[in-house]
Amino acid sequence: MAAKQIASRMLRPKVFLLKAGSILRDESGEVLDARSSVTLIISGKRKIIVDTGQEGEAAQIKKALARLQLSPEDVDCVVNTHSHPDHCGNNHLGCGGLGRRRRLQIQMRLQLR
């Protein structure tokens, strides 16, 4: 295998679904409940959580991290795709666990045209 291919494989980030998202609608299509997914990206030594779910889902997220032999204290960065409550309700878990170390949040606003 060529050196570039080996290097490419070593640099690929690993992605883990910590909590699946869901949406519940009534018969007319009205949204009754929406919950974002929570995703962990490990790139090199960096651990990034994309969206942190709804408030009250912290135990589920902690269990998912523990299955990967990680804790909230191991998370370096939290990225919120937007600021709805189901996407940022557990931001306090990330970035050094409860925000004790540095905390970096990036809120991205995507405009679809």
Q: What is the 3-state secondary structure (H, E, C) of 27-61?
A: CCCCEEEEECCEEEEEECCEEEEECCCCCCCHHHH
Q: What is the pLDDT of residue 107?
A: 45
d(CA 103, CA 75): 10
d(CA 32, CA 19): 19
Which domain covers residue 86, as residue numbers? 13-107
Q: What is the pLDDT along the chain (113 residues), one digit of tens a residue?
A: 566 665 556 678 999 999 999 999 999 999 999 999 999 999 988 899 999 999 999 999 999 999 999 999 899 888 888 889 999 999 887 666 544 434 444 444 444 44
Q: What is the pLDDT of residue 97?
A: 54
Domains: count for the chain: 1
pTM: 0.75
* CATH code of residue 20: 3.60.15.10
47 closest CA partner among 22, 24, 18:
18
Q: What is the pLDDT of residue 62?
A: 94
- Residue 95 inside a domain? The answer is yes
Q: What is the pLDDT of residue 83?
A: 86
